Amino acid sequence: MIPIASGVRVWIATGHTDMRRGMNSLALLVQEALKRDPHGGDLYVFRGKSGKLIKILWHDGLGMSLYAKRLERGRFLWPLSADGVVTITPAQLGYLLEGIDWRMPQHTWRPQAAG
């Protein structure tokens, strides 16, 4: 898992992104299409057309990193937005990376009494 510091925002680029893109062209996409600073320390998440592959772009202050994850079964749940970008919490990103519905995660059963 990516060590996310407090105060870091997670941005999801809505729609489909060409997964052949590397870190330089994704950083340019962040700068020109999303109107954000790709070197600002936030995380930017992109999804391919099939929905099975995502890429995360992150600049940690020292250099740019590009993470990729592919699901063997199922698809990553993706938001729809006319703005082109949606912000989520780091906790929601954790759900997203596990293939869980990050919009409404289900709480597991908890015991009511200790004994």
DSSP 30-91: HHHTS---TTSS-EEEEE-TTSSEEEEEEE-SS-EEEEEEE-SSS-------SSSEEEE-HH
Instruction: Measure the CA–CA gap between 103 and 82, rounded to whole angstroms.
Output: 18
pTM of this structure: 0.84
Lowest mean pLDDT among 10-19, 65-74, 89-98: 89-98
Percent of the chain clearing pLDDT 90 (strictly above): 49
Q: Is the pLDDT of residue 91 over 90?
A: no
**pLDDT at residue number 92:** 87
| Strand pairing report for 10-13 and 43-47 | parallel
Residue 1 pLDDT: 58
pLDDT by residue (tens digit) across 30-44?
999 999 999 999 999
Q: Whose structure tokens read 């780091």?
A: 90
Domain segments of the chain as ranges: 10-97
Residue 68: count other Cβ atoms within 10 Å of its Cβ: 11
